[in-house]
Amino acid sequence: MLDLHHGATMNTPVFALENISKTFSGKPAVRDLSFSVNAGTITGFLGPNGAGKSTSLRMGLGILAPDSGRALLFGGVPNFGVLDRVGFLPEERGLYRKMSTLAAIVFFGRLKGMSASAARRRGLALLEQFGLSDVAHKKIKTLSKGMAQKVQIISAVVHNPELVILDEPFSGLDPVNQRTLEDFIRALADKGTTVLFSTHVMEHAERLCDRIVLLAAGRKIFDGDVSQAMQTLPRAVHLQTDAGADPCAALEGLVKAINRDGAAHDGCQDWLVELASGADAGQVLRACVQGGIDLSAFEPQKRHLHDVFMHLVDADQRQGGE
């Protein structure tokens, strides 16, 4: 895929943090963080609230100065000129409540160098795309929270930026509009726009991202694609046996850990089986059958990015991360 704005390849870093750190009142917010974003990709910057995501994005844009390390945009230090090539949705929303919806969008387009007529045309097209044509001339203060959120997103992309940075863009949107925004993000990437978005909701990243960066307590704990992230989570199988059965002996050599999953109920016992390296669910099933273990349920556990994140955070803490 090419970046249609300037013909850059996907391997061109358009956003980079290099060993960047920031402390507030003696408390580390970001610690020696490095990652880069290539052109034409969708990158998820993930972590719980307070992990340091917003601080990192602000340093990347030159809004905050790092204590150490450096930030690069399109290969250079962030400055007003290069920021015209960026669309940014901050976590703290900021629309002028007494302006009309279209006027607010045009205003942000003009700040990025657009003519009034071009900003108006593009703004009307985006309002239609987001189903907001009927509020184009209504004041911002009359809009619902979800509508205002969509107007803020439109304002961030009205100038057709090369790089779009969205800080918690799904906040305030209902599930239908979250899916609309996901479709919009995919459409941006399809035309060559680079997208970097932060979120603490892993499902969005799981559906959207080419690559993810996981942050915990200001430290990077994973950087790679979604499939690589899934592989960090041990494979597991849920079993249900008769209450008096014990599958441990039958599964010896195939499992790393096996534990009762809750108390026995209705004459049955649930088990959570963590597979040993190299073992697969089919081998576990065959071993149960050959060992005479009567199964009333057998279900390989599906991996989700939320589970991956919790696993990596726990592993980081066990290894001495703060």
Compute the distance between CA of residue 127 and CA of residue 55 in angstroms, rounded to an integer.
30
Say if residue 320's pLDDT is above 80. no
pLDDT in the model for residue 11? 59
pLDDT above 70 (res 242): yes
Evaluate whether 130 touches 114 at the Cβ level (below 8 Å). no
How far apart (Å, rounded) are the C-alpha atoms in residues 51 and 69? 18
With cut-offs at 50, 70 and 90, classify the pLDDT of residue 6.
Answer: very low
- Look at residue 321 and tell me whether its pLDDT is greater than 70: no
Position 63 confidence tier, pLDDT thresholds 50, 70, 90: very high
Backbone φ and ψ of 219, nearest 5°? -115, 140
pLDDT at 313: 77
Residues of the chain with pLDDT > 90, as a percent, come to 65
- Predicted pLDDT at 12: 63
Of the candidate ranges 10-19, 101-110, 133-142, 253-262, the one whose mean pLDDT is the lowest: 10-19
Confirm if 123 and 109 have CB atoms less than 8 A apart.
yes
End-to-end CA distance of the chain: 39
Note the pLDDT tens digit of each residue in 76-112.
999 988 999 999 999 887 788 899 999 999 999 999 9
Q: What is the pLDDT of residue 2?
A: 35
**What is the tens place of the pLDDT at every residue in 263-303?**
888 889 999 898 888 888 899 999 999 999 989 999 988 87
Beta bridge partner(s), residue 268: 242, 265
Q: Long-range contacts of range 276-280, CB-CB < 8 Å, 24 or more positions apart?
A: 279/235, 279/254, 279/255, 280/235
pLDDT at 61: 96
Lowest-pLDDT range of 45-59, 154-168, 170-184, 228-242? 228-242
The three-class DSSP label of residue 18 is strand
234-302 classified as CATH 3.30.70.260? yes
* 7 has a pLDDT exceeding 60: no
Q: Average the pLDDT over each of 14-18, 56-60, 142-146 and give the range with the smallest value.
A: 142-146
- Residue-level pLDDT at 193: 96
Q: Where are the domains of the chain?
A: 13-230, 234-302
Q: Which of 113-127, 239-253, 268-282, 308-322 has the lowest mean pLDDT?
A: 308-322
| Predicted TM-score of the model (pTM) | 0.82
Give me the CATH code for the 13-230 domain, please: 3.40.50.300
Q: Is pLDDT at 174 greater than 70 in this prediction?
A: yes
For the cut 80, the answer to whether the pLDDT of residue 9 exceeds it is: no
Mean pLDDT value across the chain: 89
Strand arrangement, sheet containing 42-46: 86-89, 163-167, 194-199, 42-46, 211-216, 219-224
